[in-house]
Amino acid sequence: MKRLSILSLVALLGIIILSSNAFATKIAFVNLKKVMQESNMGKQAKEQLKTLIEAKKIVIKRKENNLRSLIKKLNNKKLSKTEKDKLQKQYSKDMADLQQYQAQASEEVRQKEIDVTNKILTKAINIIKDYAKKHGIDAVFETSQGNVIYWNDNMDITDTIIKLMNSSKK
11 belongs to a structural domain: no
In a domain, 101, yes or no: yes
pTM comes to 0.73
CB 121 within 8 A of CB 32: yes
126 falls within a domain? yes
Number of domains in the chain: 1
In a domain, 71, yes or no: yes
Report the chain's terminal Cα–Cα distance, integer Å: 70
The alpha carbon torsion through 72, 56, 109, 146 (nearest 10 deg) reads -90
Cβ neighbours of 137 (radius 10 Å): 17
Residue 95 in any domain: the answer is yes
| Spatial distance between the Cα atoms of 72 and 66, rounded to a whole number of angstroms | 10
* H or E, element range at 141: strand 139-142
Structural domain includes residue 59: yes
Domain of 84, in residue numbers: 20-167
Q: Does residue 118 sit within a domain?
A: yes
pLDDT by residue for the chain (170 residues), tens digit each? 555 445 444 444 445 554 545 555 889 999 999 999 999 999 999 999 999 999 999 999 999 999 999 989 888 888 888 998 998 999 999 999 999 999 999 999 999 999 999 999 999 999 999 999 999 999 999 988 877 777 778 888 989 999 999 998 75
| Res 4: pLDDT | 44
Q: Is residue 4 assigned to a domain?
A: no
**Which domain CATH number covers 130?**
3.30.910.20
Contact in structure between 116 and 48 (CB atoms under 8 Å): yes
